[in-house]
Structure 1
């Protein structure tokens, strides 16, 4: 995998950007953890290491990693509930001593806790994913919950990723299904990126876009075998998830992996228009992708577009909808970005936009893919009422200052 990434870095990219990458080594294969010492040497990390895991991931891989590294330094977070919050990070801080590096053995939550603690102490960490559940393993930021609020804080990307197929292909099916939901979300994320490039000239790297598109296709093509837990298929899923993280590093933001589908998920996570949902990140993204697909295919069903009058959200409406998070929404959006968009650029690219949308599976096809791995498919499956749909589609684009077709559609109506 790293060979493709290094090739992208070596070449003079046609996009004009010099791609940089923080992660130095990615090992994705059967028995990968038994090469941990070699990986540490390659990335020039030595000294006292400390493993971070929870009770489940300790059984899955923590003990094995400890044996490979001949390390007795292991923090098993055995709190009643393990979240990326003050309690878990303090648990690690109190026990990591003078560790020179950390080893995250787990999935998304353990990685966020570990990268937060590593960043705070100014030390590196190694990633050992135990489930192909999210695309955030190589992230440079942490998705934390502090004082009950979801926040994104600075973190550190892993110096290396050691993904052992034997381990993550044996993960609980729900976690793998969540990873499928996250990877399926790349259909709409990539489409949003391309459409924004067409309409506004937003930066887009064709090479990064191309490798992401290929990895997405390979992962989705393996869904039936992923459902059966076949290692080679699960490896394709992990490849796609890791590549998503790498692409975000190379572009410098989450654009290659996050679009309207993630905005819906983030809105639900803030619980301002809904009660909190226990769904995993990828579960929410999968359900959201089907909803976005439906909207986008409706946009593509017309013969032309007509402009409509657009008014930015008023302060009163922002306060009413986003409640305690309203100040964050104002800071995030600043001056409404739609005010700078030329409707005629959308209209003149309508046929190309329709062609891009045609590559997104229909909502029924997306739900069928999710169903194959036992993932949630509908709002009710993630314990959200259908009544939140309209507000979800209306207000989710304002969660991030990022142009998506979901946001652009506020400027036009479709002529059938």
Structure 2
């Protein structure tokens, strides 16, 4: 069976194997998605059909209040036996949270059901994988794209780390609950989706320069999701349910796209790496967390500005080779130790293992970039929107569009461009700029864009 992206609705992607032109067979363990009114009835039906009699609910103080308590009461009244753990409202997905969830498990369960969004989905995914149980998620806000992905993003030893786990078997989203979520969380969902403009190009450039696996069908699937969200953006501020549904389904579909290809390429690129860096710095400073999608959306125009500047200016490849030959690894290590604080050891270990910044490897990549530069330039010019277009979308929903609005000063913004690539082994704009010896210069392009827009 072939994917027909143009005509498929969200459930058309489930319970099938798709032989694709990319050479892979795309499939997902996700078997059930419902974005609807009165979702608790669908949850009960799903549990009953699968003979799940004992369920462990993972929630926090907020999600318990807005949905979890009501849902658990309903399930208990209809024959489902349950226990729950209620985490703090500002829960962090770290070792302490994992331990707390585990020690509150009172018996063997048939199923784990997370109630929440980003952090609670990650924790439910990780725990269920470790104890070899299937899990589902009852979404309470359309705030991020990890619902259907295989990865669980945790903070371990102060370092943001994504663990390969498994996808949920079911995703439930009650439109009444979602539409009444904090407005900043709905805006964050939109921000996460507009970030896909860049990550898809990061992926394509990696394919062009490094022959990395690439699937045009999955790219088309994600682009369709972006277009649906942008078309409904004017309904965000009024909590219009059509807009909320468009965002929710786009977030689920991009998670499914990650599952189809087996990694996060269709949904995460340089804009996500910058967001992860900001998140770590906020943790170090005990700063109130900012929603993931808010940071991703905010980082996207600056990343697009760097791409457009690169295409406009062109590249002196001979000068690039000289710059990279003069890379000062000792100075880099000192900078990592200073900026990454408690996470520095993990960053240095990653570099030792992978050699992202190895000079000889970089020189070979420069050769490939030079050889494929006309194709790279065409992608930048033809497949990326102007950064001002994305800024306009963010402004239209009254989302943050300048780093200072979320307490990121220019120094931290520059650092994020220079250092964000160190937390992932993923080829994209930031690594490409480092290869060319231009990363520090382009950190100024990033900062200047927000100064002017």
Deviations 1:115-155 (A, max 9, x none): 22222222111111100001111232322223444333343
Q: Following superposition of structure 1 onto structure 2, how do residues 366-405 of structure 1 map, counting pairs within 5 Å?
A: 366-405=390-429
Give the CA RMSD over aligned residues: 2.6
Partner of 1:348: 374
Determine which of 308, 315, 322 is the counterpart of 1:297: 308
SS at match of 1:305: coil
| CA distance in 2: counterparts of 1:266 and 1:41, whole angstroms | 39
CA displacement at 1:270 relative to structure 2: 3.1
CA displacement at 1:177 relative to structure 2: 1.3
Partner of 1:87: 96
Deviations 1:190-239 (A, max 9, x none): 11112222233221111111011011111122111022100111110011
CA displacement at 1:268 relative to structure 2: 2.2
Q: Is the 8 A contact 1:28 1:165 kept in 2?
A: yes
Residues 333 and 289 from structure 1, CA distance in 2 versus in 1: closer, same or farther, beyond 3 angstroms? farther
| CA distance in 2: counterparts of 1:179 and 1:201, whole angstroms | 31
CA displacement at 1:2 relative to structure 2: 4.2
Residues 192 and 65 from structure 1, CA distance in 2 versus in 1: closer, same or farther, beyond 3 angstroms? same
Tell which deviates more after alignment, 192-201 or 346-355.
Answer: 346-355
| CA distance in 2: counterparts of 1:276 and 1:363, whole angstroms | 31
Partner of 1:144: 154
Partner of 1:125: 135
| CA distance in 2: counterparts of 1:407 and 1:243, whole angstroms | 27
Partner of 1:66: 72
Partner of 1:48: 54
Q: Following superposition of structure 1 onto structure 2, how do residues 270-309 of structure 1 map, counting pairs within 5 Å?
A: 270-271=280-281, 275=285, 277=287, 278-302=289-313, 304-307=314-317, 308-309=320-321
CA displacement at 1:72 relative to structure 2: 5.6
| CA distance in 2: counterparts of 1:96 and 1:131, whole angstroms | 25
| CA distance in 2: counterparts of 1:48 and 1:354, whole angstroms | 52
SS at match of 2:226: helix
Determine which of 194, 206, 225 is the counterpart of 2:235: 225
Q: Is the 8 A contact 1:133 1:178 kept in 2?
A: yes
SS at match of 1:343: helix
Determine which of 17, 22, 26 is the counterpart of 2:29: 22
Residues 128 and 369 from structure 1, CA distance in 2 versus in 1: closer, same or farther, beyond 3 angstroms? same
Q: Is the 8 A contact 1:274 1:388 kept in 2?
A: no
| CA distance in 2: counterparts of 1:273 and 1:75, whole angstroms | 27
More helix per residue: 2
Residues 372 and 333 from structure 1, CA distance in 2 versus in 1: closer, same or farther, beyond 3 angstroms? farther
SS at match of 2:253: helix
Tell which deviates more after alignment, 219-228 or 390-399.
Answer: 390-399
Residues 155 and 343 from structure 1, CA distance in 2 versus in 1: closer, same or farther, beyond 3 angstroms? closer
| CA distance in 1: counterparts of 2:20 and 2:349, whole angstroms | 36
Partner of 2:84: 75
TM-score by length of 2: 0.83
Partner of 2:185: 175
TM-score by length of 1: 0.89
Partner of 1:5: 13
| CA distance in 2: counterparts of 1:272 and 1:64, whole angstroms | 33
| CA distance in 1: counterparts of 2:158 and 2:216, whole angstroms | 40
SS at match of 2:324: coil
Residues 168 and 74 from structure 1, CA distance in 2 versus in 1: closer, same or farther, beyond 3 angstroms? farther
| CA distance in 1: counterparts of 2:348 and 2:377, whole angstroms | 38
| CA distance in 2: counterparts of 1:196 and 1:150, whole angstroms | 23
Determine which of 330, 335, 338 is the counterpart of 1:321: 335
Q: Is the 8 A contact 1:119 1:154 kept in 2?
A: no
Determine which of 41, 46, 64 is the counterpart of 1:34: 41
Partner of 2:324: 311
Deviations 1:12-53 (A, max 9, x none): 2100011231212112222223111332355x3513112221
Q: Following superposition of structure 1 onto structure 2, how do residues 235-254 of structure 1 map, counting pairs within 5 Å?
A: 235-254=245-264
Q: How many matched pairs?
A: 409
